[in-house]
Amino acid sequence: MPFPKSVREEALVKAQRHCCVCHEFAGRSVNVHHIQQESDGGANTLENAIVLCLRCHAEAGHFNPKHPLGTKYAPSELIQHRDLWFEACSNGSARYSNIVEARIKRTYTSQDLHKYVVLINFHNGNKNVVIGWKLKLFIPYRFKTTTGEVEEHSETLIDGNRYKTFQVQNTEKLYLGESCEVTDQEWAKLEYDIDHDTYYAARSEELKILWEFYSNSEPPIKGELAWEKIQQF
């Protein structure tokens, strides 16, 4: 049976609809999860409830003991996450963060050539309204690139490696819980090629794709896609 409405609402209010594990604002994409499952005797009470986003809920609720990749969420760990987050929300010390997710998608493949597009998504998890943002992308100079509505700037040297520099910016407003595609497969497209020669040359240097995201709501967010994540040759 699900939690009673009063228990669900109390848990959601205490967590401010943020995930108790990753602290991302989940909005409607939220679950009130049984820490100890009902089938194992768990009660439908606040003491047995934790608020989780969809991603953390899937990870907390599914674990195959026959293929134990990663580390299972223990009930005692979930209780600590829940109690610490409820307390932070109650005393005003909760810290909200924006999230930038970067990934690549292969758009073309042949025996000698692979094409990939860089996909970056921004999620406003901060209570402040984001009024405009700017993304800087650094692509290894060895990669042949094709762009859409993306500015290309001069090359730069980072840790002894040469990078092409690209920039995407927008003036739109994003409120708490809203997301936007910073780069995509059509308009703000940044695509790169890897052939055999590029692959072997770049692999020896373990080149990366680097990015920096700027907004008015918090300090710059920096990240990278490591060599093993930017090619599937």
Domains delineated in the chain: 5-91 (no CATH), 99-229 (2.60.40.10)
Residue 68: φ, ψ to 5° = -75, 70
Model pLDDT, residue 62:
66
Cβ atoms 156, 163 nearer than 8 A: yes
Model pLDDT, residue 124:
85
98, exposed or middle or buried, with CB in 10 Å at 0-12, 13-18, 19+?
buried
Digit-by-digit pLDDT tens for the chain (233 residues) are 689 999 999 999 999 898 999 888 888 889 999 999 888 888 999 999 999 988 888 888 765 555 555 678 888 999 999 999 999 889 888 777 788 889 999 999 998 899 999 999 998 877 778 898 999 999 999 999 999 999 999 999 998 899 999 999 998 898 877 889 999 998 999 999 999 888 888 888 888 999 999 988 778 999 999 988 898 76
Model pLDDT, residue 11:
95
Q: What is the DSSP string of 100-157?
A: EEEEEEEEEE-SSEEEEEEEEEEE--SSSPEEEEEEEEEEETTSEEEESS-EEEEEEE
Tokens standing for 203? 């692999």
Closest CA to 172 of 216, 204, 137: 216
The CA distances from residue 214 to 8, 118, 129, 169, 223, in Å, are 36, 18, 14, 9, 12
Hey, how many other C-beta atoms are within 10 angstroms of the C-beta on 205?
Answer: 12
| Contacts (Cβ under 8 Å, ≥6 apart) of 86 | 14, 15, 20
Work out the mean pLDDT of the chain and round it to a whole number: 88
Cα(22)–Cα(54) distance, rounded to whole angstroms? 11
- Would you say the C-alpha torsion 215, 219, 220, 225 has a positive or negative sign? negative
Residue 132: φ, ψ to 5° = 85, 150
Model pLDDT, residue 98:
80
Cβ atoms 101, 182 nearer than 8 A: no
Rg (CA), the chain: 21
Tokens standing for 126? 């901060």
What is the residue whose two structure tokens read 């780069």? 183
Q: What is this structure's pTM?
A: 0.68
Model pLDDT, residue 233:
64
